[in-house]
Structure formats: C-alpha cells, structure tokens
Amino acid sequence: MASYDFVVVGSGIAGLSFALRAARHGKVLVLTKLLSRAGSTHLAQGGIASVLDPLDSLERHVQDTLTAGAGLCRREVVETLVARGPGAIRDLVEWGAHFTRATAEGRSRGIPYDLAREGGHSSSRIVHAHDGTGREIQRALIEAVHSDPNITVRENVLAIDLVTAKHFKAGEKDKDPRAVYGVYALDVAANRIEMHLGAATLLCTGGVGQVYAHTTNDSVSTGDGIAMAYRAGAAVEDMEFMQFHPTSFFNPGHPTYLISEALRGHGGVLRNRAGDALMDGVHPLKSLAPRDIVARAIDAEMKRSGEPCVFLDMTACGGAASLKRHFPNIYRHCLRYGVDMARQWIPVVPAAHFMCGGIKVDGHSATELTNLYAVGEAACTGVHGANRLASNSLLEGVVFSERALARILDTRPARPSRRRFRAWDSMRLKPVEETIIYSHALETIRSTMWHYVGIVRSDFRLDRAAEFLRVISRQIQSDYWSFSMEPDLIELRNLTLCAELIVRSARRRKESRGLHYNVDYPKMLPRARHTVLRPT
C-alpha cells in the first residue's frame, strides 16, 4: 500500500470537502464503508445555515447558536463558523451543488437562494435543495471527488484502529510517542486487513446514532472515529449531549424517517391527540423552540397521556400543491404510508439524531494526538455546546475541514515509511462460530441506551446502564482478541465503547443542561463546564 499525504476516514460533507481542498496540495486517500447512499450527510433534509439576507446579521446567528447551546458553546469557535458561512455556500456551489433559488421578491433584495427557517433561529437563513439538501450536496461532492486525479477512494472498507508508535517494528522509535501515522482497516470484499499510512489523518466518521434503539442515523453511524481516537489516547468531550430530534415519522415496524424541522419553520404546529398546541406556554418560539426543549415536551406528553406519539399539523400550511413543492420527498414518504399531510396530521416521535460531543479538538480541528484531526459529528469543537442549533452541522463540516487543512499545511508533516511498522497480525485468530451473538449484544446495548440514557435520565438509570454495559464490554473485548475480524464485531466494539463514554460523561454531570436532563439534578448550575474523558 502506498503512503499518502492525507488519509481521510469517512465520506460525508466533512471528509469529501477536505479531500477536494487537500488534493491541491498532495495525494489523498478516502476510506469509506459506503460512498453514495450512506451517512448523515445524505440523509440531511433541512439544509445548511448561513447569513445571506441583508436583514439578518452574523451576530444574530451567533446569538441563536449560543442560546441553543445552553451556555456551553465556545464563542470564538461559533464566530468562526458563522463568519465563514457564506464562503462555505460558495464553495459548495463551485463543487456543483444546486440549491433552491430565491423567489423574485427575494432576488430583488439581493438574496440568491430560498431561505427557510428552523427551530431556534431568529431569521430565515437555511439554504436548501427543497427537502433533500444532503442528497444534493453528497451528489455534487462525489462527482467532484471522482474527477480529481489526486484523490483515491476505497469503498467497502472499515477502519479498525489508528496506527501509532505501539505499532513500530522492534528497534524503531519516534521522538513523538503521541503521533498518529494512519489507520489499519478491513477490506470487506477481500477479507484482508491493510495498513494505510498518511502524513496527516482526518477522522470524519460521523456520530453514534446506532447506539440507540430509535435513531434517524444511517446504519453506518457506529462511532468508529470516536472510539478509535479514544483507544489511541485522544480525549473525548461532552459525550453526554446526544440530541434527540423531536420529529421522526411514527411508523412501527419500518425504518425511522426524519420529518424535517423545516416543516415547523413553514408553519407546522405540534399537537397532542386532543388537538392542543403542544408547545404553547412552553417556550416563546412555540413549535420552533430549540430541539432539546421540544423533544422533552413531546416525551412528557407521551408519558402523561400514554399515547405512542404526538402529531405535526401541516393542514393550514398552503395546501397540497405548496407542500409538494417545498417538501416533495417528505410528502411522498408520508403518503406512501397513508398520511396526506395536506389533510391529515403527521404522527411523530423523537429519535436519537446528533452527537454534540465527540473527539476533543481545537479551533483548527486538531486532536491532542499529533497529526490526527477530526471534523464533523465525530468532533467536539465547542460549536454546538449542550444542544446543536438546527442546520449548523453541515456548515460545521465545510468550515472546519478547511481549518484542519490550514493547520496541516502549516505544520507540514512528512509521509511515514512503511518499513517502520508492523503489518496486522491475524494468523493467531480463529473465525467466530456464530455471528448472531453480535446482533444480540447490539440489541441489548441499543435497548439499554434508549430506556436508561435517553431524553430524561436519572442516577438510578445511569448506574444500571453502566452495569449492563460493563458486562457486554468484557464479552466484546474477549471476542475481539480471540476471533478474526468481522464487520459486525468491529462496529460493535466501537459502539460499546461509545455507549460507555456517553454514560460515564452523563454520570459526571450533576445538573440539567441542554440535551442532558437528569431528574435528580433538575437545575442548571451557574457555571458551565465541559466533560472531558481521557484514557487511563
């Protein structure tokens, strides 16, 4: 295997935007489980937040982000994100993304694109491609990456662990024992473990949604980058803040489907079965309140009433023609399962959606390990604080991939030599006899996290979850060191560790703030602090 200037793990908006920029400066390798129809970028419906309206302002976007983050955002990083928003939109357009154009009235005010509004935003600033923004961005980035000769894409590959100093051959040393040199990865089709070396390694592996029984995330969202970085010695931060999206389509027996916040920005109203407006009196923004507040209100209503869902009422939002024009994919999906959103309320429930914490990084996405960077949902920049503001996530991926590249070019790391490292030793491992055991363990983890570490938590629930996960973790570790590599085992090992990190972080936070609500500590402490975990 060749050595590269940049090794990128993950192929969403963060990984591919980095690859396109980095390709101007060297050879790039992108490792991915699936390239086109997988990951959170592809599934993103609402859009990407950016101040493009002359009546809006960067400071208002900053303040909206800080308010949603419940006192835990790092203001200087938020200001960087917001200031670079218009440039990020221009970059995406240059790479081939097509966004929904503004009306004649909007264009007359100098606004190039139709701007939607979502929860927590004081202005309409969501650039979108109808209700399939992520799909359009992913399409454009993939086409641009395929046309760049400096980028090599390897699909159907699962990263296992980072290559560090402990993988040197006997007698080899390095002046920096905390450096990262690339990744070991499983080529699934060839059933072969390979070593991919790079001067700089970028983790863009997304979140950990699959650790919960109900999630809007794709099946590939198994926390791989977070787990690999932590095992290698990097710190993680604020892992207790899992965002539960308030509105996924309630459709038992079928995969979870997100009902975009843009529907509420279009005038949709959350109601209980009796027809009462659920958010009236709960928050001044009513159905457009920040996600943590809306999700908790829905959870409380479902527990109070015993109903399995609440409802999103779009019947007074312009009729079928308008809804089909603005939300064609969501309209078709609902209609497919018997709900005409122009005439009927949409049944909705919360689902695990976005990890606001992750690998601890600085303002240039650098981790505490040399030459290792993390961007997107796998990283904790401090942008989101205790609760992410809607549609800041796609923006984060574009902005901080650029910041990461700038730091790498400043430090100018050298390509590592393959001669110094051991190949992966798998000769001693035997094939597992029954892979069904991994499915059973995964079901247990997801059920435990949903019931004990969900929207509303308690010390008792968190303690019980820790006990369950401790037993499962020992079993998974035993299997990992006994059996040959299976994709399910690799992902399960990562999910188990991420679940433990979420629980450990949640147990440390003796307050309720943003997405973390503990009935034993219902008040928010006057001083905000981050939860940082480092390997012992």
- Catalytic residue numbers read 291
End-to-end Cα distance, the chain = 33
Dihedral sign computed on CA atoms, order 49, 54, 57, 58: positive
E strands, 250-309, are 269-271
The DSSP string of 82-127 is HHTHHHHHHHHHHTT--PPBPPHHHHHTT--B-EE--TT-SS--EE
β-strands 28-31, 126-127: how paired?
unpaired
The answer to whether residues 404 and 14 touch, using CB atoms and an 8 Å cutoff, is: no
The answer to whether residues 131 and 403 touch, using CB atoms and an 8 Å cutoff, is: no
Geometric angle at alpha carbon 112, from 109 and 115, rounded to 5°: 90
d(C-alpha 261, C-alpha 135), whole Å? 17
* DSSP letter assigned to residue 413: P
CA atoms within 13 A on the CB side of 73: 23
Write out the two tokens for 29.
């390798």
Write out the two tokens for 253.
């027996």
d(C-alpha 359, C-alpha 227), whole Å? 9
List of residues 6+ apart from 90 with CB closer than 8 A: none
List of residues 6+ apart from 425 with CB closer than 8 A: none
CA distances from 319 to 266, 326, 452, 477 (A): 12, 11, 41, 55
User: Across-strand partners of 258?
Assistant: 248
